[in-house]
Chains A and B, each alone.
Chain A
Amino acid sequence: MDVIRVGIADLAAAAAPGRIRTAGLGSCVGIVLYDGRHKIGGMAHIMLPDSGQARGDVQAAKFADTAVPELIRRMEALGAHRSRLVAKLAGGAHMFQQVRSEALKIGERNVEAARAALRAHDIPILAEDTGGTLGRTIELDLEDGTLYVRTAQNGEQAL
């Protein structure tokens, strides 16, 4: 089976059959969109909440607020319908809690920004596995929209 890999600050969209996967989400958030009617899915591995904080050129996939519209655009180009899109979220952990730094609490802000971006585009969130202290690897099955979430220490669950 084809597995499309999404790197850090990267995104991809595709139609079934196959899977889309991104590995090692720490404070980053995996935003997953799916159109079940047309079996088209998309995934972004965002690193930061808001492109407004960026200096210089903006790479859409790096920020929650720019990744969502870019994912929608890519999925529509494949034939997905905006009104049918649903979302799942995973990631946004807070690792290294011993380090006292507001900057490292970015995971929570990433999750909030992802929720806000989805709300702004009227996309409902069907499921979430966010927060905590563990990194996650996620894989979307384009056939049925199932999102498999795996951690290094606690195995796999399906969302």
Chain B
Amino acid sequence: MRPFSAFELDVLREIGNIGAAHATTSLSKLTGTRVDMSVPVARVLSFAEIGMLIGEETVYAATFLLFDGELKGSIVLLFRPEAAKALLRLLLPGVVDDERPSFTELEWSALQEIGNILAGSYLSALSDLTGLKVSPSVPGVALDMGPSILVYGLLEAGRVSDHAVVIDARLYGSGQSIGGQLFLLPAPDALAALFQALGVQAHGRD
């Protein structure tokens, strides 16, 4: 993968900013509480660095969704299990069992729906911005170690490079510990399509 210019990374961060802002608004509406987000970061990382970024063995309740069409890639939402439980308590009051470290089928399907709604609003913002058509898959869910989850979004990048573009933002609720991390992992071919759609000339060093 060629190195990106500072300007191109700024463009990617702005894409992340617009997408994550829409996702944050959706989460806020869904839970009826205020949810804020950090300024997203767009960077090119080696696979080993991506593993370190989220803690090599840190366990997350995750949703994973592939998108296809004129842009390809994946959107991953990571919540620490206790944060996922806090979120589910807001969505399913009186139903969530805090004592259980595992998740019930109902809790999983609610998480899956959260992933669906957040990724859906992220992608529709991306689609509006670029005029490119994007179709998301059904989201998958898992309770597992961070790198084992994120690697599913890096497979395309792995074929062409030892690095991948990672655009991530943190979400956090006021007073509630519902913090999570939202990742956009564009497939390598999607980057050229994004830049072209936005009229960004490739003035990177090839």
Q: Name A's B-contacting residues (CB within 8 A).
A: 5, 7-10, 23-28, 47-48, 53-56, 59, 62, 93, 95-101, 103-104, 106, 133-137, 152-153
Once the chains are docked, how many angstroms separate the CA of A88 from the CA of B147?
21
The complex places the Cα of A95 from the Cα of B142 at a distance, in Å, of: 7
Once the chains bind, are B148 and A135 in contact (CB under 8 Å)?
yes
The CA-CA distance from A54 to B162 in the complex, in Å, is 11
B155:A23 contact, CB within 8 angstroms:
no
The contact of B137 among A47, A53, A100, by CB within 8 Å, is: A100
Q: Known contacts being A96-B140, A99-B138, A137-B57, is A24 close to B148, with CB within 8 Å? A: yes
Return chain A residues, CB-CB under 8 Å to B143.
152-153
A133 to B162, CA, bound (A): 26
* CB pairs A–B below 8 angstroms (16 shown): A7-B48, A10-B47, A24-B151, A25-B148, A26-B151, A28-B151, A54-B159, A55-B159, A55-B160, A62-B158, A96-B64, A98-B138, A98-B141, A100-B137, A101-B137, A136-B148
- The verdict on A7 contacting B51 (CB below 8 Å), with A48-B155, A48-B159 known, is yes
In contact, B47 and A26 (Cβ under 8 angstroms): no
A47 CA to B145 CA, complexed, in Å: 16
Compute how far the CA of A45 lies from the CA of B50 in the bound complex, rounded to whole angstroms: 14
Q: How distant is B3 from chain A, measured CB to nearest CB, in Å?
A: 14
Q: Which residues of B contact A9 (CB under 8 A)?
A: 47-48, 158, 162
Contact of B152 among A96, A98, A100 (CB under 8 A): A96
With contacts A7-B51, A8-B51, A100-B138 taken as known, whether A95 is within 8 angstroms of B148 at the C-beta atoms is yes
